[in-house]
Structure 1
């Protein structure tokens, strides 16, 4: 994590890179809040300087080439959020009110379709995932250790290419993960 003195962000905030959009966003590790716009209390001059140096298009070289890069894997997921998710909204619903149990039931039905071969994770993710990666059939691209939430990362790295996880719970909601590469 970069010191707030150099980023211009208030205490507790850091800059992360979105895996679905490959763009910088702001994350508060204490409150688990994430947002695209700078948090209140940011030093805009320091932040502009930091962003232009470290997060301009010239500074972002995250590989999404077919071969990936050393130590990285590629995975897709199907996310079902619930009212306890850190951001209970998505491109599909502005306010998600379902309980965690209801989200689990939905995901279990999707898991059954995948296991039976009736549908693929990508087929379902396109219309049912609460992640913006839905438009890419759930594909999150390549990521390495430390790029994802701990539970998600551990489950992803434990899979073999082509394998689909059971239901994984993170602060974002409930996931089915399929390792691609």
Structure 2
């Protein structure tokens, strides 16, 4: 009986790429609800402890796998020249994520939010803080020093929309969030922009 051929040992970035590829393939094959760390490890020909050393939950692993394929918003912060345009850019990116993940995965990941690495949420806060600081530097708002719940409000609302629907988030929904909720709130709490009268 021939001796089974073991796959070559992989390390560092090569191993991580293989793990993330295995996660994407397993997700496509079984769906988020049936995805397990054991299943991904078996597909990658490794042990599940190798996965847990990098991602402590399947939600973290799936998000990392999609980011590796499509990129992260932190690497492409919108810079349109206006606060409105930048925030719409963030929400358009989130809407594209719906397509990247699919509704079943989106709902599964959102259901697993308590298991997510807290840095997942810090990243979006950092993105929005960058956008608000640029707006303050341009004079669109008086200050970017806002309460974190205000800063992350657009991403919170878009997640809420994703959780409650099985259809993609529309452009009009993004516009409504920005024009009727976020911008009025920011202008109210940040104070008038330079050169603009109050009210």
What TM-score results when the alignment is normalised by the length of structure 2? 0.26
What TM-score results when the alignment is normalised by the length of structure 1? 0.28
Larger-gyration structure (1/2): 2
Q: Which structure has more strand as a fraction of its residues?
A: 1
